[in-house]
């Protein structure tokens, strides 16, 4: 064969196979791009939902020092003073229902000295995301009573604070648990009405 002769043109079958391979490659590339775009959109949507959830939680947990609902409306709430205090200023510890959990509970009494279900407890700390805890019958307890069970028996510091209508109604009270302690893995906190400005 002479070097000056043009090369033979590919057969029709070869051209058809080459065209099919090119089309298949373009189809795969298009599908891959669509998957990437959909995944990015889904991730963006999840991030937006997560941000909205955090915003909602932050809004729920934002408290302003305004007039407490049971204070009668005559005495303004003074910074550093709260209408509810811990009974005798102490947390009472005892043995929990089981050794593999830590329990916090107690009662809230109102201005008349009677248990009240009008308020909630804000609980947060080590391995404990901030949560609002209801009192009384709606939470399955006697009037004014409340409780939280924390999984695990670990070294932990937890804070509890009386709240109501977006207000902080007590100072945060610290509860301290030791790891593996089965004798003092339950804490009881009794919050009682204390007029702001009165001597404690």
Series of mean pLDDT values for 10-residue runs along the chain (200 residues): 59 78 84 81 64 52 42 45 90 95 96 93 94 93 96 96 91 95 96 71
CA atoms within 13 A on the CB side of 46: 6
Residues paired with residue 101 on neighbouring β-strands, in sequence order: 151
Rounded CA-CA distance 104/188 in Å is 6
């Amino acid at each position: 064969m002479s070097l000056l002769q043009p090369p033979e043109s590919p057969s029709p079958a070869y051209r058809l196979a080459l065209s099919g391979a090119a089309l298949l490659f373009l189809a795969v590339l298009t599908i891959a791009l669509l998957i990437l775009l959909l995944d990015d959109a889904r991730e963006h949507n999840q991030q937006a939902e997560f941000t909205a959830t955090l915003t909602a939680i932050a809004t729920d947990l934002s408290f302003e020092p305004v007039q407490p609902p049971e204070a009668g409306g005559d005495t303004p709430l003074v910074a550093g003073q709260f209408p509810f205090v811990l009974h005798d200023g102490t947390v009472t510890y005892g043995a929990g229902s089981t050794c593999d959990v830590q329990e916090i509970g107690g009662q809230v009494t109102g201005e008349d000295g009677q248990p009240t279900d009008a308020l909630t407890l804000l609980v947060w700390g080590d391995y404990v995301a901030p949560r609002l805890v209801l009192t009384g019958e709606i939470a399955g307890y006697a009037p004014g009573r409340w409780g939280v069970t924390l999984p695990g028996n670990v070294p932990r510091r937890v804070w509890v604070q009386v709240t109501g209508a977006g207000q902080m109604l007590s100072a945060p009270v610290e509860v301290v648990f030791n790891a593996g302690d089965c004798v003092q893995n339950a804490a009881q906190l009794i919050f009682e009405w204390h007029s702001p400005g009165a001597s404690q």
